[in-house]
Amino acid sequence: MSKEILNLEPKALWENFYSLTQIPRPSKHEEKIQEFMVQFGKSLGLETEKDAVGNVMIRKPATPGMENRKGIVMQGHLDMVPQKNSDTKHDFQNDPIDAWIDGDWVKARGTTLGADNGMGVAAAMAVLASKELVHGPVEALFTCDEETGMTGAFGLQGGWLKGDILLNMDSEDEGELYVGCAGGVNATIEFEYDEMIVPKGFTPYKLIVKGLKGGHSGLDINLGRGNANKLLVRFLKFATREMDIRLAEINGGGMRNAIPREAYAVVVVPTEAIADFLAAVSKYEAIYTSELKLAEPNLSFKAEETEKPKSLIDERVQDDLIDSVYACPNGTIRLSDSMPGLVETSTNLATVKSENGVIAVKCLLRSSVDSAKDDLCEQVESVFSLAGAMVSFDGAYPGWKPNMDSAILQQMKQIYENKFGRIPEVKAIHAGLECGILGGNYPHWDMISFGPTMRFPHSPDEKVNVPTVQKFWDFLVETLKHAPLK
């Protein structure tokens, strides 16, 4: 049960994280956690404000003798990605997260854990509540809706915060300091279709792709994992051409920033072709499991009889949809020249969903190079425009350009080496941190991102490494204690 994490060290951090697991906080539904944070700050007697977009700021004065230090802003986001396994019953708007300990890891049962970014938020809360830590003036900035639009970061007003240094605590590898990130943009594609009568002589089946690992569409995009939408459409391309099956419904993926783990389609199959159809499903499952046997050991592709659909998607749109989704770029597009191993440009074909005469396809495109991101937009638009779909882009956010001369970077490298006996790695990340956006309104900020080790955020396999949480906390405490002079 969740309460067992209360016995972990550092207790101050884990107690706050437990509180966060008990408050539903999916993106776009953050009213409860925002109110909780406001009451938390006020209960400590600290200056606490909530702005017009939903960000919460709590300000704590310096401890005696530290008033001459530069102000530090500890920053994390309040929302979490709501992803669950299909066989897990969970209402993210009302149910708490059921966290549990598995060796050196904390996980959740069948859902995302919310360590992204609950760990950073919990750490800032522990600093605010402490009567023993030594620090200069600190502010905690808890932003809203980071996962689906970075609404809080975009809406942050200049002049609200007084600090000079931003510690973003939303990274996922302990012992690494991040000084740059990719920018991104949302692509939305829509097909309008006519609803056609289901002809006689066809039998309805439901095609199901499941068992994939999914994961963060930035951090995990280079791991070679399967995309449930692409696998499903690959089979549909074959079956519609060779067996004249027809598509009635399609639904794959969940969130733009999560690699799709599951997808299904309702189809009708000519009765005389059922045996060949089922054999083809088995054949393609064998192909998929062979191709992805290391990356996706639990992959499953099945067909099961289902209820007769009310209508079919008209054949022209069916074929255009299948061809364009099949052709759409997906995964790692290019690696960085300047930072070996770093993904520079990628796209995640995140969701495909038919409903009420419209099929919506959603992608998230990322790149640390603005011109490459623009080029990828043109590629995606070209593919779907040729298929007659409407294509639009929104939610663009900038990347964060590395500053290797950063004063806080140099200081934190030295603090880490003194504390742990080794120099931390300095990296950029192929994910959307808020630093690039926040720095737009606070251009004087010296920024860095760090955190404990997590794996598989944005998926039900999300987990956080317990020993690294202690190191993350100790590093934060030492950084605050040695804040630079004004």
Based on its alpha-carbon atoms, the radius of gyration of the chain, rounded to whole angstroms, reads 24
Rounded to 5°, angle at Cα 146 from 476 and 3 = 60
Residue 146 annotated in active site: yes
Contact (Cβ atoms closer than 8 angstroms) between residue 167 and residue 74: yes
Question: Among residues 145, 146, 170, 262, which one is catalytic?
Answer: 146
Q: Are 426 and 409 in contact (CB under 8 A)?
A: yes
Rounded CA separation 363/185 (Å): 9
Q: Find out whether the peptide bond into 117 is cis, omega within 30 degrees of 0.
A: yes
Q: Look up residue 245 and give its two tokens.
A: 């099956």
The 3-class SS string of the chain reads CHHHHHHCCCHHHHHHHHHHHCCCCECCCCHHHHHHHHHHHHHCCCEEEECCCCCEEEEECCCCCCCCECCEEEEEECCECCCECCCCCCCCCCCCCCEEEECCEEEECCECCCHHHHHHHHHHHHHHHCCCCCCCCEEEEEECCCCCCCHHHHHCCCCCCCCCEEEECCCCCCCEEEEEECEEEEEEEEEECCEECCCCCEEEEEEEEECCCCCECCCCCCCCCCCHHHHHHHHHHHHHHHCCCEEEEEEECCCCCECCCCEEEEEEEEHHHHHHHHHHHHHHHHHHHHHCCCCCCCCEEEEEECCCCCCEECHHHHHHHHHHHHHCCCEEEEECCCCCCCEEEEEEEEEEEEECCEEEEEEEEEECCHHHHHHHHHHHHHHHHHCCCEEEEEEEECCECCCCCCHHHHHHHHHHHHHHCCCCEEEEECCCCCHHHHHHHCCCCEEEECCCCEECCCCCCCEEEHHHHHHHHHHHHHHHHCCCEC
Q: Which is catalytic among the residues 79, 174, 344, 462?
A: 79
| Rounded alpha-carbon distances, angstroms, from residue 84 to 211, 259, 328 | 12, 13, 26
C-alpha 71/C-alpha 74 separation (Å) is 10
Q: Which residues are catalytic?
A: 79, 146
